[in-house]
Chains A and B, each alone.
Chain A
Amino acid sequence: MTPTKTTDLKADPSSTDEFIKGLWRENPVFVQVLGMCPTLAVSNSAINALAMGLATAFVLIMSNVLVSSLRNFIPKQVRIASYILIIATFVTMVDYAIQAISVDLHKNLGAFISLIVVNCLILSRAEAFASKNTIGKSALDALGMGLGFVFALFCLGAVREILGNASIFGITVFPESFQEWIIMILPAGGFFTLAFWLFLFNNYKLKKAKA
């Protein structure tokens, strides 16, 4: 999916707006449909989704700040390669950090931590925002987008875990008699849940446009 670049055209949005927009109006998952692969793959339980979201948000913030502070030194021709190197460095750090914090979590998330490198969300923020804006603004932008990503991932993970496993954060919420929807924690459930959330968002947007 091609990144939307609406932010660049605006005259001079206030700093709070840079932060707020990522949370809702330009939510990376629900509106821009970026960073789909990790979104679908690790959102089979709320805790996995949250950990993945936070790891991505951390990389996003750090790389946005670094890209923004180096924006006058990186030659235009090699900028994408430089961004990817910056991102890969932070991802390697996160990978080792998670391994140190919880081996189980690291095993659950598997290769998807390393795959944060190729999350289009991070590269698109570096290219569309951080390379053109001041450090402060880029940090706020990344914080907003990162939290928006965490929020979206949590929405998916919670629905899938509640329906597929009858629990949330490992705590059972339904009585014994509840028949789990196994399909929700299988790959197909990821597609269906995301389709469902996007449907809600579209519905809301269409209704608002009509009003």
Chain B
Amino acid sequence: MKSESFWYIFINASLINNFVLAYFLGICPFLGVSGKMETATKMGAAVTFVMIISSVCAYGIHALLVAINAPFLQLISYIVVIAATVQLVEMVIKKMSPALFRSLGIFLPLITTNCAILAVALFQTAKGYSFFGSLAFALGAGVGFTLALILMAGVREQLDFADVPKVVKGTVITLLIAGILSLTFMGFSGLGS
């Protein structure tokens, strides 16, 4: 996998195999926080930040676990690192911007259980990326997640003015939009190959 350039890894993770729309990772915040553009952008930034930190940590942990020959600890140690990083981000946001802290609400601690973040750590290990490859992968995944979230928020803000039938209101219409977005992102397949 050494031959893959960092640029390709980045494009692959953000567009071709978008984490949300192609791999179905991080669907909960994708459906939950995509109501408003502003919150969506900041949520995306927070998730990207956590992804990069945990990706770096996961790279170190993997090297350590291989050295002591204990791969079965991989999952447990990754999740602990992610939980700690989220705790850190939560404290920083609470101190820096209490308003943002309130608007993200329950979804901030729930970044811990955002499967996209654990997936970044697991995938980079499975694909055997180098240190900088992992960084490019985490950054791409974060940008892809933010992009999907922002696109969704843009559509849903317009949706507030539309007359949606009661039976499809809420999750159903959101899922339909996600499906259409996913179809559009299929247009990126084949890019860079």
Chain-B contact segment, one of A32-40, A47-55, A173-181: A32-40
Q: Decide: A195 and B22 in contact? CB cutoff 8 A.
A: no
The answer to whether the Cβ of A169 comes within 8 Å of any Cβ in the partner chain is no
Q: Are A36 and B28 in contact (CB under 8 A)?
A: yes
Closest to B82 in A: A118
B178 adjacent to chain A (CB < 8 Å): yes
Question: CA A88 – CA B122 in complex, angstroms?
Answer: 14
How far apart are B37's CB and chain A's nearest CB, in angstroms?
20
Q: Mark A85-115, 1 if CB is under 8 A from B, else 0.
A: 1001101100110000000000000010011
B75 near A91 (CB under 8 angstroms)? yes
- Which of B2-10, B109-117, B132-140 has 4 or more CB atoms under 8 Å from chain A? B109-117
A210 CB, nearest partner CB in chain B, Å: 11
* B183 CB contacts on chain A under 8 angstroms: 183, 188
Closest CB in chain A relative to B151 CB, distance in Å? 14
Among A37, A96, A195, the residue within 8 A (CB) of B115 is A37
Q: Is the interface of A mostly helix, strand, loop or mixed?
A: helix
Tell me which of B45-53, B59-67, B165-173 binds A: B165-173
Chain B CB within 8 A of A117 CB: yes
The contact string, 1 if C-beta is below 8 Å from chain A, for chain B 37-77, is 00000000000000000000000000000000000100110
Interface stretch (choices A8-16, A61-69, A134-142, A197-205): A197-205
Report the interface size for chain A: residues with CB under 8 A from the other chain: 42
Shortest Cβ gap from A70 to chain B (Å): 17
- Complex: how many Å from CA A160 to CA B100? 40
Per the bound structure, the CA–CA distance linking A33 and B83 in Å amounts to 23
Q: Is B91 an interface residue (CB 8 A)?
A: no
Are B118 and A118 interface neighbours, CB within 8 A? yes
Let me know if B176 and A186 touch, CB within 8 A: no
Question: Quick one: closest B residue to A203, CB to CB?
Answer: B167
State A114–B115 Cα separation when bound (angstroms): 10
B191 within 8 A of A: no
Q: Which residues of B contact A1 (CB under 8 A)?
A: 28, 31-32
Contact A191 B115, CB 8 Å, known A199-B167, A199-B168 = no
Q: How many A-B pairs fall under 8 Å by CB? A: 119
Q: Which residues of B contact A91 (CB under 8 A)?
A: 75
Q: How large is the interface on B (under 10, 10 to 19, 20 to 34, 35 or more residues)?
A: 35 or more
Q: Say yes or no: B179 contacts A36, CB within 8 Å.
A: no
Mask, B1-27, CB within 8 Å of A = 1, is 000000000000000000001111111
Is A187 a contact of B182 with CB atoms below 8 Å? yes
Report the nearest A residue to B126, measured CB to CB: A111
Instruction: Report whether B176 and A191 are in contact in the complex, using a CB–CB cutoff of 8 Å.
Output: yes
Q: Which residue of A lies closest to B110 (CB)?
A: A120
Query: Which residues from B are CB-within-8-Å of A186?
Result: 182, 186
Which of B83, B114, B166, B171 contacts A81, CB < 8 Å?
B83
User: Which of B103-133 touch A at CB < 8 Å?
Assistant: 106, 109-110, 112-115, 118-119, 122-123, 126
B179 → A minimal CB distance (Å): 3
- The reply to whether A111 and B179 form a contact with Cβ atoms under 8 Å apart is no
* Shortest 9 CB-CB contacts between residues of A and residues of B: A191-B179, A195-B175, A41-B24, A36-B27, A188-B182, A40-B24, A118-B113, A118-B115, A192-B179
